[in-house]
Amino acid sequence: MHDPFEIKKAEAKDVPLIFSFIKELAEYEKLSHEVIATEALLKETLFGEKPHAEVIIAYLNQEPVSFALYFHNYSTFLGRPGIYLEDLYVKPEARGQGIGQKILAYLAHLAKERKCGRLEWWVLDWNESAIAFYKRIGAKAMDEWTVYRVTGEALNDLAASWQNPK
């Protein structure tokens, strides 16, 4: 019997679909105003000469219902790479069918295959259903860590302060 669920590695031809998932995710997270990515930029950074991340697309009955975008990071304490899951999104109509768990299991398997020491991601603190799900699969919150980010003008200013010692 044919399994109605399937995961495929994304290809350059999937950029419009990936971009639509990104926009849906941003709307769900109430962050649409922060999306400045374009299809052209995604094609360049995901499928160009030096890809910076990987994407998988999940299909249910041959319809795309979910995507995950991830890349390698590195743990100096473990002395091993890890996989950082930047985004995981399941369309509302496909939720509650185990798709998120299957994607995380796929990524965990990929991490083990690539000799990674961990799989990690962030979650918005208001997303209680996601937090409950992550706890059920054994994920631990890293409450003692605070994320810091430099972007936009602050990034420009910091970069401009660099003086290359000659």
Domains (range + CATH), the chain: 5-160 (3.40.630.30)
β-bridge mates for residue 60, sequence order:
5, 63
- Lowest-confidence region among 33-47, 66-80, 102-116, 138-152: 138-152
* Ordered alpha helix ranges (H), 9-48: 15-28, 39-47
pLDDT at 165 over 80: no
pLDDT at 3 over 90: no
pTM beyond cutoff 0.85: yes
Token pair listed for 129: 């259903």
**What interhelical angle do 15-28 and 39-47 show, nearest 10?**
110
Alpha-carbon distance 56 to 89, whole Å?
Answer: 11
Q: Tell whether the torsion through CA atoms of 31, 32, 36 and 40 is positive or negative.
A: positive
pLDDT at 166 over 80: no
Alpha-carbon distance 66 to 87, whole Å?
Answer: 10
**Residues 94-145 pLDDT 10s:** 999 999 999 999 999 999 999 999 999 999 999 999 999 999 999 999 999 9
Q: Tell me the HSE value of 44 on the side-chain side, using a 13 A CA sphere.
A: 5
Sort strands 63-75 and 54-60 into parallel, antiparallel or unpaired.
antiparallel
Q: Cite the active site residues.
A: 134
Confidence band, pLDDT 50/70/90 cuts, at residue 163: confident
The pLDDT value given to residue 1: 60
Residues 46-66, mean pLDDT to the nearest whole number: 97
**Residues 78-91 pLDDT 10s:** 999 999 999 999 99
